[in-house]
Amino acid sequence: MKTPLQIAILAAGEGKRMGSALPKVLQPLAGRPLLAHVIATARSLDPRAICIVHGGDDGMLRRRFPEADLKWAKQEPPAGTADAVKCALPMLPEDGVTLVLYGADPLARAETLREVVRRAQQGALSLLTVELEEPAAYGRIVRDSAGKVVAIVEFKDATTAQRGIREINTGVMAAPTGAFKRWLERIDNRNASGEYYLTDSVALAVKEGATVEATRASSVMETLGVNSQRELAQLERLYQRAQADALLDAGVRLADPARIDIRGDLSCGKDVSIDVGCIFEGAVTLGDKVTVAAHCVLRNVSAGPDTAIFAFSHLEDAQIGARCRIGPYTRVRPGGSVLADDVHIGNFVEVKASTIGDRSKANHLSYVGDTTVGRDVNIGAGTIVCNYDGANKHHTIIEDDVHIGSDTQLVAPVTIGRGATIGAGTTVWKDVPGGTLALNQKTQLARNGWRRPTKG
C-alpha cells in the first residue's frame, strides 16, 4: 500500500520587495495568483490533506481560496521555513509523508514532484535541486566524496569554497512526517539571519544515518520563485514562451511567439493562425482553420471551424459557430451570447446576452443586447436595441428573414415578425407583424432663402 501524502504550502512571506499591498502569493502569473498555480499542482498529486501556512495578510488568502479541502495555519511573526513547517504539521495527519512547497514558486511540474515524493515514501529525506550557471545567493548542496548529500548551506553562512558549488537547493523537500517532527524540534536559529532553516534538517538526517536523496529538476523554470516585480515579469515571459512553444509544437501558426498571452486554457484545432498581441483568458477553444488577427482578447470563447476574428475584437462568454466573420473592433460582452454558423458581426458592433441565427449580419455600428435574432436577418448600421428602461432589462425577438434599415431603434420588449422590413430611421415601440413594412411617418421640407447662422 502506498504511503499517504500530505502537503504543506509555505505562503507567509510578506513580499516587501514586491512594492505592493497585495500579498506576494496573490500576485498574478498568467492571470492567476501564484498560489493558485501551486495549489493546482498540489491537488494533482492527490494528497489526503493540504495545509497553507499564511501570515499577517488580514485573511486575504483565506477569502481568495475558500475551498473546503484546504487547511490553514498561521505563522506570525515569520521566523523561517522550519518554523513555518512546524506551524503546518499540527494541521496534518501524523503519519505518511509530508511534501513542502512554496506559494510563490509556481512552476514545478507534477511529474518532478512525484519523483521527490516517491523517494520520501521509501524513507529518504528527498530534496529537489537544480544546477545553475550563476547560483547567486541560493543555498548550496554539499556532497561528500562519494557524492552523497550531507548538508545544505545557506549562502550567508557558506564558505568561499562552498559558494563555488553550482547545485542549489530549491526549498522543495519531502520526508516521513515523523522524521520532520523530530528534526524540527532540534533546529535552532543560530545563523546569520536568526531564523529557523528547514534546510538544517539535512544535516540532522545525515547525523541520524537517514538517507538523503536529491532529484534534479528537468529545467530551471521549474524552480523559479518570485520576490520582486522584476522577477514576476521575467517569470511571466518565460511561462508565456513555454505556452507558445507548446502551441507551435501542436501545429498552431503564431506570427510571433513572443507576443501572445495565455491566461487560462487555449485549445486549438488544425491550421489555426494567431497574429500578434492576442490575449486568451479562461477556457478558449478554436476549431480547425480559425484565424485570430492582431490584438484580440478572447475570454471563455469557443469558435467553430473556418471562423475569422479580425483585429482589435474583444469577445467574452461567447459560442461562435463555423465560418463566422467577427470584427474588426467587435465587442461581445459577458452574458452568454451564441452566434450560429455564417454570422457576420462587424466594425464597432456590440453584442450582449443574445442569440444570432445562421447567416444573419450586423456589419457596422450597432448594439444588439438581450435579443434573439433568427436566420437570414440583416441589421443595418446604427441600429440600437433599447433593452434597458432605467430599472429592468427587456427582451427583443427578431424572427427569420427580417431586414432592419439603418439608424433604427427597437424599444424592448418587442417582436419583429418573420419577413418584416423596418425602414431606415424608424423607432419601433410595438410588435411588427410578419411580412410587413414598418416605418415612422416623416415630412421633409426644403426652405428657400434660408441662411446659415454666422459667428458674431
The string of pLDDT tens digits covering residues 365-400 is 999 999 999 999 999 999 999 999 989 999 999 999
pTM of the predicted model as reported, rounded to 2 decimal places: 0.88
Start and end residues for every CATH 3.90.550.10 domain found in the chain: 5-223
Q: E strand or H helix at 337, and its extent?
A: strand 337-339
* 394 flagged as catalytic: no
Catalytic residue among 295, 344, 364, 395: 364
**Predicted local distance difference test score (pLDDT) of residue 1:** 64
Q: What is the mean pLDDT of residues 122-127?
A: 93
pLDDT computed for residue 120 by the predictor: 95
Mean pLDDT over the full length of the chain: 94
In DSSP terms, 432 is beta-bridged to 416
Q: What are phi and psi of 182, to 5 degrees?
A: -60, -45
- CATH homologous superfamily for the domain 252-438: Hexapeptide repeat proteins (2.160.10.10)
Among 86-90, 155-159, 276-280, 434-438, whose mean pLDDT is lowest? 155-159
Q: Which residue has the cell 459557430?
A: 321
Mean pLDDT of 83-107: 95
Instruction: Answer whether 268's CB lies under 8 Å from 253's CB.
Output: no
For the segment 14-72, what is each residue's pLDDT rounded down to a tens digit? 788 888 989 999 999 999 999 999 999 999 999 999 999 999 888 899 999 999 999 99
List pLDDT tens digits, range 216-228.
998 888 988 899 9
- Is residue 317 over pLDDT 90? yes
| Pairing verdict, β 384-386 and 371-373 | unpaired
Euclidean distance between CA atoms 439 and 424, whole angstroms: 8
Comma-separated ranges of CATH 2.160.10.10 domains in the chain: 252-438
Q: How confident is the model over 161-175, as pLDDT tens digits?
A: 889 999 988 989 999
Q: Does the pLDDT at position 292 exceed 80?
A: yes
Query: What is the per-residue pLDDT for 397?
Result: 98
Domain 5-223 has CATH 3.30.300.30: no
pLDDT of amino acid 441 = 85
Specify the range with the lowest mean pLDDT, choosing from 8-22, 83-97, 167-181.
Answer: 8-22
**Rounded-to-integer distance, Cα 277 and Cα 430, Å:** 44
Q: What integer is the mean pLDDT of 106-119?
A: 95
Question: CA 2 → CA 5, 232, 288, 307, distances in Å?
Answer: 9, 37, 43, 49
C-alpha cell of residue 260: 501572445
